[in-house]
């Protein structure tokens, strides 16, 4: 049967990176189980158990699961209805000298749970530099446009001016929060290790003839081999599924942030102020050839919606575990853990592409400012009139009337905002006619935005990115070579 005759997740066929897909592949999973069995046998031998050198050598030689071994394991699983035992037997056929020593003292969760923790660790290590790259892109963008005025929006209505760089800093700050949360769960991730069938370590206590210190040493050896600082102090048959929820709360928050950013970009594309990159031969619509749809931002929004809602699955799985564990966590975690990271990976790849090539149209931005700035400048005009001894209340009424007239031209006739022209023609405002043009320079209305951008990007953001400098430099070199 062709692959075209079977459903395949679009995350694998269209969106996610090969690196991330490899982490959660069947071969990586099964081979990691074998590596865990090797580490267990090596550690048990080191601590005095009688495991032949030949057994361990054969296990080492067959860590990577071959296609043939998968076929053998499939046959065993059809017979046993147990995937771990199927792979134990298949491994035993590849390493016959080790057949009686594989999985010694362990429960199935020794391989399944520890492998999942290894995959989570590797996936987090892939996600973090990709998130840092997006932040770096936006940092450079923010500094470039730190003093370029643009309309601020509250309630999606024109509000006081900000700068394009200041708006980008809003996005950066939220992404930095995600970075910090993911760094935290990465740093706090621990190993399950060898804990026995209910976390009592009873089988290992028996293997080591009552020497509990050897169990402590066993887990120290396993943690060192697997690259973890320590094991969780309390385990049941599994590591607590609270760990999955903790990771999901951090990783899936990328979805909420990314959708918010993509939504802003989509709105700005509609206003023709900013666009995502658009390739020379890219087609925006099959019917409307002129269109330049923000399809990457739309993809980000769609994938982000899925990712942002995943934590509820992890929460429900965690709270539904009974006592020392129930198996209703298995099937859903097989889907949700890989999917969470494939989604995050896909979103960050697209977000990197978008933020690395954002296009700004300053003339359109200025035209929109010019439509609104006359209204915003009226307060300054009032203050100038007051300095000439004109009653503020009288001036306020004059501006109110003229503002409504100008607004009617814009809304009812589709014309441009001619408030300033009306003011310049009104004898009431003659004392400040010569000052009016100087009051409507957009740069006068952006407040401290340039300084805010500089201080934030060159301060906190630069400090956050410093630990990722090596990977960011490699990414920059790769882009220059394309």
Catalytic residues: 155, 285
What residues contact 142, with CB distance under 8 A and at least 6 apart?
Answer: 165, 166, 168, 169, 172, 453, 457
Please state the separation of Cα 100 from the chain's center in Å: 44
210 Ramachandran zone, left/alpha/beta (phi>0; psi -120 to 50)? left
Q: Which long-range contacts (CB under 8 A, 24 or more apart) does 225-229 make?
A: 225/39, 225/42, 225/43, 226/36, 226/39, 226/114, 226/118, 226/191, 227/121, 228/117, 228/121, 228/189, 228/190, 228/191, 229/190
Burial of 99 (0-12, 13-18, 19+ CB in 10 A): middle
Residue 210 phi, psi dihedral angles, 5° rounding:
85, 0
Burial of 95 (0-12, 13-18, 19+ CB in 10 A): buried
From the CA atom positions of the chain, what is the Rg in Å? 31
Q: How far apart are the two ends of the chain, measured CA to CA in Å?
A: 38
DSSP symbols for 154-165: ETTEEEEEEEHH
Q: Which helix (H) or strand (E) holds 152?
A: strand 149-154
Distance set, CA 14 to CA 94, 249, 262, 271, 342 (Å): 36, 25, 19, 29, 11
Residue 244 CA to residue 247 CA, distance in Å, equals 5
Question: Is 227 within 8 Å of 256 (Cβ atoms)?
Answer: no
Q: Where are the beta strands (DSSP E) in 56-95?
A: none
Distance set, CA 398 to CA 38, 381, 415, 431, 452 (Å): 86, 11, 21, 14, 36
Rounded to 5°, the CA angle 72-77-81 comes to 170
């Amino acid at each position: 049967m062709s692959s075209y005759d079977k459903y395949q997740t679009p995350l694998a066929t269209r969106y996610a990176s090969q690196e991330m897909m490899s982490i959660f592949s069947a071969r990586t999973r099964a081979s990691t189980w074998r590596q865990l069995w090797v580490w267990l046998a090596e550690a048990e031998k080191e601590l005095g158990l009688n495991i032949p050198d030949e057994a361990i050598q054969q296990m080492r030689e067959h860590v990577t699961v071959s296609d043939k071994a998968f076929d053998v394991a499939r046959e065993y699983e059809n017979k046993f209805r147990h995937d771990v035992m199927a792979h134990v037997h298949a491994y035993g056929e590849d390493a016959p000298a080790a057949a009686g020593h594989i999985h010694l003292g362990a429960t199935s969760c020794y391989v399944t749970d520890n492998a999942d923790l290894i995959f989570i660790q590797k996936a987090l290590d892939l996600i973090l530099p990709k998130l840092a790259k997006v932040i770096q892109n936006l940092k450079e963008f923010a500094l470039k446009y730190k003093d370029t005025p643009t309309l601020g929006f509250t309630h999606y209505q024109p509000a006081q001016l900000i700068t394009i760089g200041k708006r980008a800093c809003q996005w950066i700050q939220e992404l930095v929060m995600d970075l910090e949360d993911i760094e935290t769960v990465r740093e706090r991730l621990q190993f399950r290790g060898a804990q026995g069938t209910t976390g009592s370590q009873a089988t290992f206590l028996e293997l080591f003839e009552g020497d509990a210190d050897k169990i402590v040493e066993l887990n120290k050896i396993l943690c060192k081999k697997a690259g973890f600082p320590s094991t969780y102090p309390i385990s049941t048959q599994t590591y607590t599924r609270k760990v999955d929820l903790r990771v999901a709360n951090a990783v899936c928050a990328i979805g909420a942030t990314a959708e918010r950013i993509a939504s802003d970009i989509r709105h700005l594309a509609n206003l023709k102020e900013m666009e995502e990159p658009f390739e020379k031969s890219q087609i925006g619509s099959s019917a409307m050839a002129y269109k330049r749809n923000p399809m990457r931002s739309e993809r980000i929004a769609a994938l982000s919606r899925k990712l942002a809602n995943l934590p509820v699955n992890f929460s429900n799985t965690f709270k539904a575990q009974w006592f020392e564990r129930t198996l209703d966590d298995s099937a859903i975690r097989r889907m949700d853990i890989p999917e969470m990271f494939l989604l995050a990976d896909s979103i960050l790849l697209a977000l990197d592409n978008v933020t690395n090539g954002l296009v700004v149209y300053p003339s359109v931005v200025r035209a929109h400012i010019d439509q609104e700035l006359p209204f915003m400048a009226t307060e300054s005009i009032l203050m100038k009139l007051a300095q000439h001894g004109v009653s503020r209340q009288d001036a306020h009424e004059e501006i109110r009337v003229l503002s409504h007239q100008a607004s009617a031209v814009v809304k009812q006739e589709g014309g441009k905002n001619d408030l300033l022209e009306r003011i310049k023609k009104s004898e009431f405002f003659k004392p400040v006619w010569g000052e009016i043009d100087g009051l409507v320079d957009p740069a006068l209305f952006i407040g401290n935005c340039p300084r805010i951008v500089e201080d934030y990007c060159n301060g906190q953001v630069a400090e956050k990115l410093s630990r990722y400098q090596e990977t960011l430099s490699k990414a920059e070199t790769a882009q220059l070579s394309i």
